[in-house]
């Protein structure tokens, strides 16, 4: 009922045990009350964190490092709403937020897209009927373009320079209209996007090619909640699921040097391919020859049973949160 935003310090790199587990207790630096469920949050810069609420409100919190306190720096009340912004119960959950300082983009259950600037009281731009279904997540493709995923299996690309409120491109999973919950863009190759959704499949898309995914990979037994390319080492991808697993997908290996296709996850991986790509430099993610470019998949938490709801990665560190009401930090991803 009473939610909080908390800032933790997980200590110095020196205190790492043999298995990469952190030795010593993480320190709670500060926390602050938050109205509604926290649906998503992202750092805007070193001090400020943008938080999406189930009430439809978007808040920028400031972390004051000199005295370790948090304060609400700015708030857009009911940035997302179903009927009318002014009714007491009209809020619609803000499901996703993405920052590209000073710009903040939010999406919600109301199918709305908002573009805010950290220093401005009013929205810079609102696309009211961007979608007739729930928008679950959003990412920047480039500074003027965003990509959203929705509850009927569609990816939509929006050019924020265009005044018309129509997507510049729509891609979709054929047939099933499986809700998509998460999306991430390849850090170096902006045309490569990974998505995951209700059926646990990992889809990799080349937004320059056609309207269907380049590959569909059997992954989790239940909903996939997050997908993230490693920001500086994008041959590595991480996904987590309601089924309690967190998978590390590694396409960096030259498979000829590896005697076997390691698969410690659940089911074996299958490959489907929709398009052939003629390029001298092809990302392993867009390969359509599974015999040549197999990938190694490792379940990083093999015995977990409760949902893994969120994950993030930076350098050698992986952090994830589960329904066990615990946050885990793995400091030796590439050990």
Question: Which pTM value belongs to this model?
Answer: 0.86
**What does DSSP assign to residue 275?**
-
Residues 83, 101: Cα–Cα separation, whole Å: 30
Residues whose CB falls within 8 Å of the CB of residue 138, separated by 6 or more in sequence, listed in order: 96, 97, 98, 105, 106, 107, 113, 146, 147, 148, 149, 183
- CATH numbers and ranges of domains, the chain: 1-10+24-130 (2.130.10.10), 175-253+282-334 (2.130.10.10)
At 322 the pLDDT is 94
Per-residue model confidence (pLDDT) at position 325: 87
Spell out the residues 6+ positions from residue 5 whose beta carbon is closer than 8 angstroms to its own.
31, 32, 34, 38, 41, 49, 51, 61, 70
Strand ranges (DSSP E) for 151-206? Answer: 154-159, 169-172, 180-185, 192-197, 202-206
Give the residue from 215, 232, 211 showing the smallest Cα distance to 295.
215
pLDDT tens across 84-109, in order? 767 666 789 999 999 999 999 999 99
Q: Which residue has the higher pLDDT, 306 or 23?
A: 306
**pLDDT band per the 50, 70, 90 thresholds, residue 272:** very low
Q: What's 91's DSSP letter?
A: B
Does the pLDDT at position 233 exceed 80? yes
């Amino acid at each position: 009922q009473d939610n909080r935003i908390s800032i933790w310090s997980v200590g110095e790199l020196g205190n790492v045990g043999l298995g990469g587990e952190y030795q010593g207790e993480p320190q709670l630096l500060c926390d602050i009350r938050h109205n509604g469920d926290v649906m998503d949050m992202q750092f805007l810069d070193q001090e400020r964190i943008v938080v999406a609420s189930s009430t439809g409100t978007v808040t920028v919190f400031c972390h004051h490092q000199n005295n370790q306190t948090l304060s609400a720096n700015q708030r857009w009340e009911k940035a997302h709403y179903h009927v009318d912004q002014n009714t007491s119960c009209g809020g619609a959950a803000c499901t996703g937020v993405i920052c590209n300082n000073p710009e903040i983009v939010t999406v919600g259950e109301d199918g709305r897209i908002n573009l805010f600037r950290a220093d401005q009281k009013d929205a810079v731009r609102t696309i009211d009927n961007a979608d007739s279904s729930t928008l679950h997540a959003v990412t920047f493709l480039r500074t003027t373009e965003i990509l959203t995923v929705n509850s009927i299996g569609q990816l939509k690309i929006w050019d924020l320079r265009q005044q018309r409120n129509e997507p510049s491109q729509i891609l979709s999973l054929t047939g099933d209209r499986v809700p998509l919950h998460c999306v991430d863009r390849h850090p170096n190759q902006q045309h490569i996007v990974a998505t995951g959704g209700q059926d646990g499949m990992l889809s990799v898309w080349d937004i320059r090619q056609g309207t269907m995914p380049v590959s569909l990979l059997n992954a989790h037994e239940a909903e996939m909640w997050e997908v993230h390319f490693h920001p500086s080492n994008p041959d590595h991808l991480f996904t987590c699921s309601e089924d309690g697993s967190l998978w590390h997908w590694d396409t960096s290996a030259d498979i000829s040097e590896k005697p076997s296709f390691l698969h410690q996850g659940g089911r074996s991986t299958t490959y489907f391919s929709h398009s052939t790509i003629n390029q001298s430099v092809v990302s392993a993610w867009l390969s359509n020859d599974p015999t040549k470019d197999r990938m190694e998949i490792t379940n990083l938490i093999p015995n977990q049973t409760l949902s893994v709801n969120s994950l993030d990665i930076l350098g050698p560190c992986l952090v994830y949160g589960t329904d066990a009401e615990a946050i885990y930090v793995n400091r030796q991803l590439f050990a």
